């Protein structure tokens, strides 16, 4: 059996806010918000992949922290892990996304309520809302 594809996503944190990125494609998720990230390539650790992906997608350098507790497996062939991250240099810009925004716990809860988060990332919503509300 082939191993599932591993995707790492960044819960990029700044105080009580987290960065969300608005997808531009594919059509099914265009306009919805996600934690930026992408596939771990062969020979890379998850941390290295997240540093590379956030450099490509946001044009920033990050330091990677602890993973969120919840691992998301939307299909047998896809596993998503989210890791906390902090920007160590640069100002994020939407290189591959339609837009970026910083949200606090209340704003994140509203996006979830309104169906504005990509479905896969809903698996992290509760943990992140709770964490943002106590930061
Ligand atoms: O962004 P990219 O297309 O490289 O993402 C790889 C895969 O991971 C896609 O299937 C995408 O839908 C998924 N993904 C996700 N949630 C994220 C980041 C990526 O479901 N926060």
Mean pLDDT of 62-75: 96
If pLDDT is split at 50, 70 and 90, which confidence band does 44 have?
Answer: very high
| CA-nearest residue, atom 11 of ligand 1 | 38
| CA-nearest residue, atom 2 of ligand 1 | 38
If pLDDT is split at 50, 70 and 90, which confidence band does 3 have?
Answer: confident
Residue by residue, what is the 3-state secondary structure of the chain? CCCCEEEEEEEEEECCEEEEEECCCCCCCCCCEECCEEECCCCCCHHHHHHHHHHHHHCCEEEEEEECCCCEEEECCEEEEEEEEEEEECCCCCCCCCEEEEECHHHHHHHHHCCCECHHHHHHHHHHHHHHHHC
Q: Is the pLDDT of residue 87 over 90?
A: yes
More confident residue, 3 or 7: 7
Mean pLDDT of 32-50: 98
- Ligand 1 lining (C-beta closer than 6 Å): 7, 9, 34-35, 37-39, 80, 118, 120-121
Share of the chain above pLDDT 90, in %: 96
ipTM value for the complex: 0.91
For the chain, the average pLDDT equals: 97
Q: Please tell me the predicted confidence (pLDDT) of residue 13.
A: 98
Considering the entire predicted model, what is its pTM? 0.96
Probe ligand 1: pick from 25, 32, 34, 68, max atoms within 8 Å of CB? 34
81 CA to centre of ligand 1 in angstroms: 11
């Amino acid at each position: 059996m082939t191993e599932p594809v591993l995707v790492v996503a960044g819960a990029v944190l700044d105080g009580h806010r987290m960065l969300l990125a608005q997808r531009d494609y594919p059509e099914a998720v265009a306009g919805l918000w996600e934690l930026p990230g992408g596939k771990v390539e062969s020979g890379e650790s998850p941390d290295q992949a997240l540093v590379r992906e956030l450099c490509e997608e946001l044009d920033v350098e990050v330091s990677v922290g602890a993973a969120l507790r919840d691992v998301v497996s939307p299909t047998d062939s896809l596993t998503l892990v989210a890791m906390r991250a902090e920007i160590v240099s640069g100002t994020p810009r939407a290189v591959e996304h339609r837009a970026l925004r910083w949200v606090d716990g209340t704003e994140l809860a509203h996006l979830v309520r309104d169906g504005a988060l990509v479905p896969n990332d809903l698996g992290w919503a509760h943990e992140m809302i709770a964490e943002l509300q106590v930061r």
